[in-house]
Amino acid sequence: MATLEVGDRAPAFTLPDQDGEKVRLTAYGGSPVVVYFYPKANTGGCTTQSCNLRDAEPGLSALGASVVGISPDRPEAQKKWDDKHEFGFPLLSDPNHAIADKYGVWGTKKLYGREYEGIIRSAFVVDGSRKIAGAFYKVSPKQTVTKVLSVLEDLQP
């Protein structure tokens, strides 16, 4: 699995969100974007991570950043989850893991001794010129906000 590093060009994407609308990375213009990948909507760790990002929105917004979540879930599942927690940012559907592959977050995982393929929880800060400013593979749901805020603060003039 190839991983992205700081300075790499962020892979572009166009994916449907929880409302069925197409979302493109390029739609964010020259502003930073936090792109995070999570394994499955409406599960414990993913809910913790997403709620923490939702709650950090004032601080992220003050630093000029938007948030986009991506998982293999279908838009309908994303919508139910968003309706329940009111995240306020796009949750994108990547069921064939094409974008996850490009970001290097699709790989072998282990659970209770069983190996399977899936999303490796990760977060990225994409700067205004579409370069990776921060890459956090196997990030803890509780540490996502702290890590991305640190990078976003470093991007400030």
Catalytically active residues are: 46
Torsion of CA 121, 116, 93, 37, to 10 degrees: 10
* Tokens standing for residue 96: 């064939």
* Tokens standing for residue 1: 């699995």
Q: For the chain, percent helix, then strand, then coil, each to nearest 5?
A: 30, 30, 40
Angle at 10 between CA 7 and CA 15, to 5 degrees: 170
